[in-house]
Every structure is written in structure tokens, then in C-alpha cells.
């Protein structure tokens, strides 16, 4: 693993977050997870940690594109484009927090939509692992 490049690490890190959060969700149970999301993570008043995560995400997007233009890794632009899409969520949380929280409350209350979201995140995480192993 000494030869693992930045793009592989990024894939594995992102997949770990996706799968890890689903495992924690399973351990906490639906009600416990919803309570944590709404009372701890996305409180009615915008939490300060959002600014830190927002800044980190912006730096990560910038650094990822820097690596695309300064490395000779084939298909590196794919993960850079995917990481860039996270900027949409981050900017929504940063600049339209109240609307994001309303969306989160509505989503968390809908079992069917949450199941679809969880399945999508697991599939995306598996794709990221595959990319980290075989594409980069």
C-alpha cells in the first residue's frame, strides 16, 4: 500500500465515510440516528462545525483539481468531478442552512426515501472502493 496515490486514498476515505455512517446508523437504530441528526448534527441554529467542514471541503476540492493538473494519473478527473459535486451540498448547508435542515427533517421522516438513500450510498461507496483499487 506504499504506492497508493492521493486519488485512491480519496476514494477509500469517502467510501469509509459512506459505509461507516450506514453502520453507525444501523447500530443507533432509526430513531436514535434521527435524534442525533436533528439534535446534534443539524440543530435548529446553524452549528459552528459546518464552517470548518465547509472550509475543509473547499480546500479539498481545490487540492484535488490541483493534483489533476499536476499528476499523470489516468481518469483522475472523474473523482475530482465527483468531489466537486459535494460543493453543492456544502454550499447549501453553508448559505441556505434553514432550507437544508427542512429537507433533512422531511427526508429523515420518510422511511422509503431513507432506504433509497442508504442503498445509493452503499452502492456509491462500493464503486469508490472499486475505483480506488482498480482505476487509480
Model pLDDT for residues 43-100, shown as the tens digit of each residue: 999 999 999 999 999 999 999 999 999 999 999 999 999 999 999 999 999 999 999 9
Kindly report the pTM of this predicted structure. Answer: 0.89
Is 10 within the bounds of a domain?
yes
Report pLDDT for 3. Answer: 58
Question: Is 2's pLDDT higher than 90?
Answer: no
Residues whose CB falls within 8 Å of the CB of residue 67, separated by 6 or more in sequence, listed in order: 6, 7, 73, 76, 80
Is 75 within the bounds of a domain?
yes
SS3 state at 48: coil
Please state, in angstroms and rounded to a whole number, the distance separating the CA atoms of residues 83 and 86. Answer: 5
Tell me what the mean pLDDT of segment 104-110 comes to.
96
Is 1 within the bounds of a domain?
no
Is 79 within the bounds of a domain?
yes
Is 23 within the bounds of a domain?
yes
Tell me what the mean pLDDT of segment 25-46 comes to.
95
Structurally, the chain folds into a number of domains equal to 1
The residue range of the domain holding 90 is: 6-135
Is 56 within the bounds of a domain?
yes
Is 88 within the bounds of a domain?
yes
- Report which of 93, 76, 69 is spatially closest to residue 11, judged by C-alpha positions: 76
Is 49 within the bounds of a domain?
yes
Amino acid at each position: 500500500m506504499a504506492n497508493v496515490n492521493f486519488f485512491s486514498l480519496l476514494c477509500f476515505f469517502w467510501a469509509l465515510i459512506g459505509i461507516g455512517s450506514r453502520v453507525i446508523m444501523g447500530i443507533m437504530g432509526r430513531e436514535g440516528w434521527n435524534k442525533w441528526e436533528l439534535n446534534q448534527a443539524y440543530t435548529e441554529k446553524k452549528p459552528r462545525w459546518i464552517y470548518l467542514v465547509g472550509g475543509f471541503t473547499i480546500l479539498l476540492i481545490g487540492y484535488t483539481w490541483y493534483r489533476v493538473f499536476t499528476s499523470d494519473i489516468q481518469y483522475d478527473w472523474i473523482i475530482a468531478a465527483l468531489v466537486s459535486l459535494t460543493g453543492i451540498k456544502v454550499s447549501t448547508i453553508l448559505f441556505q442552512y434553514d432550507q437544508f435542515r427542512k429537507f433533512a427533517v422531511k427526508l429523515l421522516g420518510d422511511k422509503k426515501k431513507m432506504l433509497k438513500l442508504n442503498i445509493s450510498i452503499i452502492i456509491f461507496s462500493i464503486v469508490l472502493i472499486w475505483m480506488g483499487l482498480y482505476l487509480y
